[in-house]
Amino acid sequence: MAHLSSSKHKQSAAMSSPNFIDGYWFYFNDGDTDIAVHGSAWSGKETVYVNDNPVSSKRELLKTQSNHQFVHNGHQYQVRYHITSLMRGDLECKVFKDGALLASQSKAFLSSSKRSWFNILKMFVVGFIFGLSAVALIKYLVA
């Protein structure tokens, strides 16, 4: 499992931008406490690690927000996920310590909404061509 113990190069690559294979990785630091948060782009599974140990895990498939709560060294922590844009795949992750915001990060699959629409248009065209080809093949086989 690649999380806090991974090499600095892998960490920086995973932190720079999310992708469908690695999902979303967020890294936070609170003194001697390292907090890593991972969200799978495929399964919706979210896992929070403290000093390389999983402390919270859940799967969210239908909600645009989720919360993870845990206690570490006598402090109450909360991690909040919020999908701010479905079109761009924009996810915001906030970490709270004893009710106060400790840190926040935001990452997106796509950098702009215009690019999102262009990708949707490309998928529509490919789907249309595939569907048209399937209909032509069925007509050819039936006739």
The type of residue at 39 is G
Q: Which residue pairs, CB below 8 angstroms and at least 24 apart, start in 78-82? A: 79/35, 79/37, 79/48, 81/37, 81/39, 81/46
State residue 8's pLDDT score: 44
pLDDT in tens, 23-40: 889 999 998 899 999 988
State residue 17's pLDDT score: 67
State residue 76's pLDDT score: 95
pLDDT in tens, 35-90: 999 988 778 899 999 999 999 999 987 788 899 999 999 999 999 988 887 767 78
What's the pTM value of the predicted model, to 2 decimals?
A: 0.65
